[in-house]
Amino acid sequence: MAKTLLLLFFLSALTSRITHQQEIFFEGFNGGEAAVNMSLNGGAVIYQSGTLGLTNDTQKVVGHAFYSTPIQFKNKSKVVSFSTAFAFAIVPQYPTLGGHGFAFTIAPSKDLPNGYPSQYLGLLGPKNLGNFSNHLFAVEFDTVQDFEFGDISDNHVGVNLNNMASNKSVKATVLGQEELNLKSGKVIQAWVDYDSSKNQLEVRLSQTSTKPNSPILSYEVDLSPILKDSMYVGFSSSTGMLASSHYILGWSFNINNGDAKTLSLKNLPPLPSRDKPHRRSLILGLSLSASILLLCSIALSFYLTKKLKNAEVIEPWELEVGPHRFPYKELKKATRNFHHKNMLGFGGFGAVFKGTLANNTEIAVKRVSHDSKQGFQEFVSEIETIGRLRHRNLVQLQGWCRNHIDLLLVYDFMPNGSLDKHLFEDSPRKTLTWEQRFKIVKGVACGLLYLHEEWEQTVIHRDIKAGNVLLDADMNARLGDFGLAKLYERGSNPSTTRVVGTLGYLAPELTRTGRPSTSSDVYAFGALLLEVVCGRRPVEAKALPEELVLVEWVWDRWRLGAVLEVVDPKLGGVYDELEVVVVIKLGLLCSCEVPEMRPTMRQVVRFLEGEIPLPEGIPPPDGFGGGKSGHSYGGNTWLSPLDDDVEGTRDEDGS
């Protein structure tokens, strides 16, 4: 009997191979069949009710759920038509903030071993983005706007081919009009249909059991080069610093045999009930018997007094805030009570400690004091803004914590420390090669361009310097302390606003007007460029009088045609001369006294990438070598080919 069944099973598997037809239908994932036919990994689980959970609201997890057996997608090397419908719900940890998203996925494997959490949705990682060997097709339902992938909004549906940057994306809507909030926690049905005769892919969304007539996304694409013969279908999802529970309640899939059956929403299982941990403990506490309660209340009052003393009371609005709020105890433990041996140094605004969390993640904790007069809610909303900035050349803010007047900011730990240590310390082990220096300079430029132009609002760094450039394990540059200056300024009295910045990096107009701008950042970046080439600080008290101010010394050498004399002797003469000259010249351009004559960060990046050549002439720096009119050295001719770029990006200056 068992043998016959087995034979039948193989036979049916065989016929489905031959006919290239297969149907999958789950209204809920309960019962043994789902357990056998669905292969789960990462955070994915099937709840008692029959709902499939891809992630819960734990941070930085990945969840995959794929149909266990591979599916034949091609007939004679052409992808055949397929159709799928599924019902999902996204329940974010904090109502307004999604914690990344999920994707209907067709992939060569069912565990996607290279899938990273956060913005990668468990699909890909930084090393294989865009690689044709990924053979990955995904329709993402994304609730976070990741600028590095050009996301259009924090509520969109996109088609991704081998990449996290979508080939086509649209805002999530119903019938192409009314915006549909993907992270509302409500059940939404989605349909993805691929018609191989027209090479047409369509996506539909609805909150009902009826398939809409018109798609919200329609994309003409031949999937034959993307998909392999035999592929796995299913779902992938992830959370990041912000988290959502991503649920699939039902799924139907059909290949080479017409449309997938639409799901009837009323037949689907309910969502798992969601108790916040602290509420659960409260309920637990209430249901305890009176005698235990008495004992507990004594302990509780102890605990509460301690807690109040630490002023770590969670206010309702704090729960709405983005970056992870760490318990003070956890950070205290991680840094061994802020032990001096764990101190990494003093960054802008406060001391920085190294810490190790219980899960062995290394972190850097910055301890800044907070003026209690300042509205704390405002302060925290600023932190949330900083937490949403994401770029490979920025040090990522992981979270924060408040204890009395201390504010603790938790960042990714950067194992190679700050750039100034490598540039100015005489340990040969730390000396950077030219190749490393050039990569670092380009990295800082990209990070700063992101802050200035690529994020939703302009962020002026205000304290660009070698000490704020940190190096990760691969010696990539990451800018630290961004956004902090502004955060500080909020609470202070405008008439006493101190100029934030560091001597030698301060643009001349800043000391006059006190108004920072993107071009005062560019000035500081220019000083950084010269530092990296020359291996010395912008103002060196120990230097010869004529070498005191770095930019003037470099300009002088440049004018005399002996610019290579300024190159850091620690390089031992091993460097790419063309690159060195580009960096020096750019450093001088950025150091121009007249803000309008400095390039924008976009231009800087293009100069460094060699996309546009640097101009011939260079304006001299402050009060040196030929007047301040800005014209005695040929006017701003060097800017003329770029006039289009310059206009409109200068409104920050206000001068």
* CB nearer to ligand NAG: pick between 138 and 550: 138
Residue 554 phi, psi (nearest 5): -65, -45
Q: Which of 51, 56, 502, 519 binds ligand NAG (CB under 6 A)?
A: 56
Report if residue 334 touches ligand NAG, rule: CB under 6 A.
no
Both tokens assigned to 467: 């000490």
* Cα 445 from Cα 609, distance rounded (Å): 10
Considering only the stretches 56-64, 431-439, 455-463, 623-631, report the one whose residues sit in contact with ligand NAG under the rule CB under 6 A. 56-64
Q: Which of residues 114-173 bind ligand NAG (CB under 6 A)?
A: 128, 130-131, 133, 161, 163, 165, 167
* CB nearer to ligand NAG: pick between 55 and 476: 55
Contact indicator for 188, 89 with CB cutoff of 8 Å: yes
Considering only the stretches 16-24, 186-194, 380-388, 510-518, report the one whose residues sit in contact with ligand NAG under the rule CB under 6 A. 16-24
Considering only the stretches 54-62, 509-517, 518-526, 577-585, report the one whose residues sit in contact with ligand NAG under the rule CB under 6 A. 54-62
- State yes or no: is 142 an active-site residue: no
Coil vs helix vs strand at 203: strand
Contact indicator for 67, 39 with CB cutoff of 8 Å: yes
Minimum distance of ligand NAG from residue 370's CB (angstroms):
33
Report if residue 19 touches ligand NAG, rule: CB under 6 A.
yes
Closest Cα partner for 63 from 26, 115, 129? Answer: 115
Report if residue 195 touches ligand NAG, rule: CB under 6 A.
no
Minimum distance of ligand NAG from residue 526's CB (angstroms):
33
Minimum distance of ligand NAG from residue 463's CB (angstroms):
35
Q: Which of 28, 43, 99, 250 binds ligand NAG (CB under 6 A)?
A: 43
Long-range contacts: 451-456, Cβ < 8 Å, 24+?
451/389, 451/391, 451/394, 451/479, 451/482, 451/521, 452/518, 452/521, 452/600, 452/601, 452/602, 453/600, 453/601, 453/602, 453/649, 454/147, 454/391, 455/147, 455/389, 456/145, 456/147
Report if residue 221 touches ligand NAG, rule: CB under 6 A.
yes
Report if residue 637 touches ligand NAG, rule: CB under 6 A.
no
Coil vs helix vs strand at 520: helix
* Cα 110 from Cα 133, distance rounded (Å): 16
Coil vs helix vs strand at 268: coil
Q: What's the distance, CA 343 to chain centroid?
A: 27
Report if residue 74 touches ligand NAG, rule: CB under 6 A.
no
* CB nearer to ligand NAG: pick between 152 and 165: 165
* Cα 407 from Cα 571, distance rounded (Å): 41
Report if residue 20 touches ligand NAG, rule: CB under 6 A.
yes
* CB nearer to ligand NAG: pick between 203 and 532: 203
Report if residue 41 touches ligand NAG, rule: CB under 6 A.
no
Closest Cα partner for 415 from 357, 501, 466, 354? Answer: 354
Both tokens assigned to 464: 């660009």
Minimum distance of ligand NAG from residue 353's CB (angstroms):
28
How many other CB atoms are found less than 10 A from the CB of residue 23?
A: 13
Query: What does each C-alpha distance from 242 to 117, 166, 362, 410 come to in angstroms?
Result: 11, 21, 19, 15
Instruction: Flag whether 78 is marked binding.
Output: no
Q: Which of 40, 46, 61, 614 binds ligand NAG (CB under 6 A)?
A: 61
- For tokens 């392999």, name the residue: 228
Number of residues that bind ligand NAG (CB under 6 A): 23
* CB nearer to ligand NAG: pick between 130 and 514: 130
Both tokens assigned to 240: 């990041």
Degrees (nearest 5) of the Cα angle 593, 596, 598?
65
Minimum distance of ligand NAG from residue 117's CB (angstroms):
11
* CB nearer to ligand NAG: pick between 280 and 306: 280
Closest Cα partner for 104 from 220, 35, 31, 24? Answer: 24
Q: What's the distance, CA 12 to chain centroid?
A: 46
Report if residue 76 touches ligand NAG, rule: CB under 6 A.
yes
Q: Which of 151, 193, 463, 568 is catalytic?
A: 463
Q: Which of residues 584-613 bind ligand NAG (CB under 6 A)?
A: none
Residue 132 phi, psi (nearest 5): -65, -20
Q: Which of 15, 75, 497, 632 binds ligand NAG (CB under 6 A)?
A: 75
Report if residue 207 touches ligand NAG, rule: CB under 6 A.
no
* Cα 450 from Cα 461, distance rounded (Å): 11
Q: Report the b/e string of 406-422 with b at 16+ CB within 10 A.
A: bbbbbbbbbebebbbeb
Task: Give the nearest residue (CB) to ligand NAG.
Answer: 43
Residue 347 phi, psi (nearest 5): -90, -175
* CB nearer to ligand NAG: pick between 31 and 617: 31
Minimum distance of ligand NAG from residue 476's CB (angstroms):
17
Residue 510 phi, psi (nearest 5): -65, -40
Helix ranges (H only) for 20-122 are: 31-37
Report if residue 33 touches ligand NAG, rule: CB under 6 A.
yes
* CB nearer to ligand NAG: pick between 128 and 374: 128
Q: Which of 26, 104, 120, 482 binds ligand NAG (CB under 6 A)?
A: 26
* CB nearer to ligand NAG: pick between 128 and 262: 128
As annotated, the active-site residues are 463
Feature table: binding site for ATP:
366
- Give the interface with ligand NAG as residue ranges (CB under 6 A): 19-20, 24-26, 33, 37, 43, 56, 58, 61, 75-76, 128, 130-131, 133, 161, 163, 165, 167, 221, 256
